[in-house]
Amino acid sequence: MTATQQSTIADAALRRALDRGVDLARLGPARDPNPRVGCVLLAPDGSVVAEGAHGGAGTPHAETAALAAAGQAARGTTAVVTLEPCAHHGRTPPCAAALVEAGVAAVVYAVPDVTTAGGGAQVLAAGGVEVRQQPHPGAEDLVADWARAARLGRPHVTWKIASTLDGRVAAADGTSRWITSPQARRAAHAVREQVGAVLVGTGTALADDPSLTARDDTGALLPEQPLRVVVGTRDLPAGSQLSRGLAGAAPTADRTSPADTPHPGEVVHLRTHDPTEVLADVRARGVHSVLLEGGPTLGGAFWRAGLVDELLVHLAPALLGAGPHAIPDLGIGTMADAARLELVEVTRLGPDLQLRLRPTRPAQEE
């Protein structure tokens, strides 16, 4: 087959197959070194021959799962895949070669693979398979974090700060609840649900006893939970919210809840001060994006290491005049050395402002 085969399948059928591929891909683990991928094999009349999804690193890729399900029926089909089939030998053999071998006539993929595993489209074309890219927003969303981490060579880091107008993140007596409004806190929980991991230093863990879970207004856990990471050498007090989530800890009320209730994400305690080591560790656990929730000491260490990609500031119209500063001493002594940021987005959250910012070049390079 043939150029004719693919063109006999209507665009609407290909779009439906990509929608289905995205649904299948979502069955795979959200936190995994590999991207989530779904594959649907279509007969020339557009009917579904077989489907496959990737179940995480070390398991068959979506394309090979679909080919295995189809057997001989794979010959002459159009494989519709959410991500360009891989061309490299990883823990499993390359999918592009497997598709050629199986006699697939055409491949339609949504997102080009820009990583070292990419190049599958050329392998397929060289093998006589008709290849076409068909953009699909759902498929792009599915792998956006994974692709960005692949480009960076580490997880993307957003440093989130809730501060008063005068840049304080707690009061002089150590109280910090609550600086911002319920609307801002709801938005913060929604961000937690979207990232692979939430990070705090032991200072914050000890001062605030946070749970770091993603919750709704009633306190119920949202469906997706981030890995919860504490960084620092001090122990967490027994019975603290985070120590209850550590591997080996006694079951909590949350852990005995019904199977269809989301469980809080696992807690990891990394006894290091090295931000690079922290990111390498969480990446190996399949984390592609990190929400660094402070405090100032840990945030400052990531900033100085050049490992902050974005700042998310929830600015409350409140003044404290004393208490810890959001940003610690960054070693900047003169105006020309000020760290400059680009203001990417401003959103009003009830009485508060949400500022999304990205670091730019140092002032002297402007």
Ligand X SMILES: NC(=O)c1ccc[n+]([C@@H]2O[C@H](COP(=O)([O-])OP(=O)(O)OC[C@H]3O[C@@H](n4cnc5c(N)ncnc54)[C@H](OP(=O)(O)O)[C@@H]3O)[C@@H](O)[C@H]2O)c1
What whole-number distance in Å separates Cα of residue 36 and Cα of residue 259? 23
When the beta carbons of 80 and 169 are compared against ligand X, the nearer one is 169
Smallest separation (angstroms) from ligand X to the CB of 258: 32
What whole-number distance in Å separates Cα of residue 113 and Cα of residue 32? 17
Smallest separation (angstroms) from ligand X to the CB of 116: 31
Q: Is the peptide bond preceding residue 295 cis, with omega within 30 degrees of 0?
A: yes
**Which residues are at the interface with ligand X (CB under 6 A)?**
161-163, 169-170, 174, 176, 179, 200-204, 207-208, 231-234, 273, 293-298, 301, 324
The residue among 31, 72, 8 whose CA lies nearest residue 229 is: 31
Smallest separation (angstroms) from ligand X to the CB of 312: 10
What whole-number distance in Å separates Cα of residue 324 and Cα of residue 334? 22
When the beta carbons of 264 and 296 are compared against ligand X, the nearer one is 296
Burial class (CB in 10 A: 0-12, 13-18, 19+), 275: buried
Q: How far is CA 277 from CA 37, 102, 193, 221, 231, in A?
A: 28, 42, 24, 29, 10
Look up 193 and say whether it is catalytic: no
- What DSSP string describes 236-291? PPTTSTTGGGBTTPPP-TGGGS-TTSPPPPPEEEE----HHHHHHHHHHTT--EEE
When the beta carbons of 43 and 207 are compared against ligand X, the nearer one is 207
When the beta carbons of 39 and 184 are compared against ligand X, the nearer one is 184
Residues annotated as catalytic are 63
